[in-house]
Amino acid sequence: MKNSILGGRFLPVVIACAIGASGAALAADPDEIIDYRQGAMQVTKYHFSTIADMLKGKIEYDEAAVKKHADVVQLMSTLVKDEFPEGTDALAGETNALIDVWDKPDEFADKVAEFEETAIELEKAAESGDKARLAAAVKDVGSSCKACHDDFRQDDE
The residues that touch a copy of itself, with contacts defined as CB under 8 A, are 24, 27-28, 32-33, 35-36, 38-43, 45-46, 49-50, 53, 58-60, 71-72, 75, 79
Spatial distance between the Cα atoms of 41 and 123, rounded to a whole number of angstroms: 18
DSSP structure class, residue 8: S
Nearer to a copy of itself, 59 or 132 (CB): 59
Radius of gyration of the chain (CA): 17
CB-nearer residue toward a copy of itself: 10 or 61: 61
Q: Containing H/E element for 78?
A: helix 63-79
Q: Which of 117, 114, 84 is nearest to 99 (CA)?
A: 84
Least Cβ distance, residue 46 to a copy of itself (angstroms): 4
- In the complex, minimum distance from the CB of residue 29 to a copy of itself, in angstroms, rounded to a whole number: 12
